[in-house]
């Protein structure tokens, strides 16, 4: 490994540590009060002090997010295949989906609460609703962009639509699908935290809301950090999955350079 390679490896850590140092220093230099912007050391203290509640609630948030995400994957994949399969279904559903996607999901939470009461289920459903759209769009795009020549080659062999879907459509859609998972998992966190903070007694979203009510600002930031860590971890899982499943699609050196 040469010098640049080592620096590239270390750079995420260096940048993170750099940010923390700048943050800590600014708080002290500009004498920013703790209840306005707590320094990293105070946040770290909150981590130790509230380790129990943080661990419990972050687990709940993770669980909620993952269940919502799993629903989104299943449903998104199915709907994407349907939309990609038939022009009629595409034409019929597309405006509906655009309209649905345009609705801010926080506005849907009250309805979910009306139907399911506050707590776990609305949070799961919000995570699901907010994250399925990119999956549908990506799967449908993958199917819609099959090279017409390739389709011709197969049709001239007597391939049915299902054959073309199985041999070409689905494999070539996988990179789009796995790419969309990275976006979807991040959105799923947004969904579950939104719902937790407006309509739940559990989860990091709720914990942050309570911390705010009690003016425990370092704890709010600790909550944010937990969310960031969970988000990064899940994103990494999706990225690894993507690379494992669709190595053939990642040939370009563009992103590596």
Give me the residues that bind another protein (CB under 8 A), please: 147, 149-150, 152-159, 163, 167-168, 171-172, 246, 248-249, 251
Q: Which is nearer to another protein, 125 or 165 (CB)?
A: 165
The nearest distance, CB 167 to another protein, in angstroms, is 6
Give CA–CA dist 84/138, Å, rounded: 10
- Measured CA to CA, the distance from residue 226 to residue 57 in angstroms comes to 10
Q: Least distance (Å) from another protein to the CB of residue 90?
A: 18
Nearer to another protein, 81 or 164 (CB): 164
Spatial CB neighbours of 218, under 8 Å, sequence gap ≥ 6: 34, 38, 42, 43, 45, 46
- Shortest approach of another protein to residue 21 CB, angstroms? 45
When the beta carbons of 160 and 201 are compared against another protein, the nearer one is 160
Q: Which is nearer to another protein, 99 or 253 (CB)?
A: 253
d(CA 222, CA 31): 21
Contact 135, 80 (CB under 8 A): yes
Q: What is the CA radius of gyration of the chain?
A: 22
- Closest distance of CB 140 from another protein, Å: 19
Taking the C-alpha atoms of residue 105 and residue 129, their distance in angstroms, rounded to an integer, is 7
Give the C-alpha distances (Å, rounded to integers) separating 126 from 41, 67, 95, 199, 221.
34, 11, 21, 11, 23
Q: Which of 173, 186 has the CB closer to another protein? A: 173
Cα-based distances in Å from 137 to 58, 75, 167:
30, 12, 21
Q: Measured from the CB atom, is 82 or 159 closer to another protein?
A: 159
Least Å distance between CB 87 and another protein? 14
- Shortest CB 88 distance to another protein, Å: 16
């Amino acid at each position: 490994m040469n010098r640049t390679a080592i620096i590239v490896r270390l750079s995420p850590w260096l940048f993170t540590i750099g940010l923390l140092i700048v943050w800590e220093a600014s708080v002290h230099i500009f004498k920013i009060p703790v209840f306005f912007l707590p320094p990293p050391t105070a946040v770290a203290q909150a981590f130790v002090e509230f380790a129990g509640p943080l661990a419990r609630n972050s687990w709940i948030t993770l669980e909620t997010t993952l269940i919502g995400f799993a629903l989104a994957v299943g449903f998104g994949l199915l709907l994407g295949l349907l939309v990609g399969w038939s022009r009629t279904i595409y034409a019929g559903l597309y405006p509906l989906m655009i309209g649905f996607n345009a609705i801010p999901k926080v506005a849907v939470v009250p309805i979910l609460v009306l139907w399911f009461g506050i707590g776990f289920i609305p949070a799961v459903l919000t995570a699901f609703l907010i994250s399925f759209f990119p999956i549908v769009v990506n799967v449908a795009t993958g199917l819609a962009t099959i090279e017409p020549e390739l389709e011709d080659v197969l049709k001239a062999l007597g391939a049915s639509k299902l054959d073309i879907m199985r041999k070409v459509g689905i494999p070539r859609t996988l990179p789009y699908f796995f790419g969309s998972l990275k976006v979807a998992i991040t959105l799923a966190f947004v969904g579950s935290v939104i719902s937790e903070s407006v309509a739940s007694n559990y989860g990091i979203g709720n914990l942050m809301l309570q911390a705010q009510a009690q003016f425990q600002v370092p704890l709010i930031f600790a909550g944010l950090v937990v969310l960031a860590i969970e988000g990064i971890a899940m994103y990494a899982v999706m990225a690894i999955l993507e690379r494992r499943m669709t190595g053939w699609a990642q040939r370009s050196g563009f992103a590596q350079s």
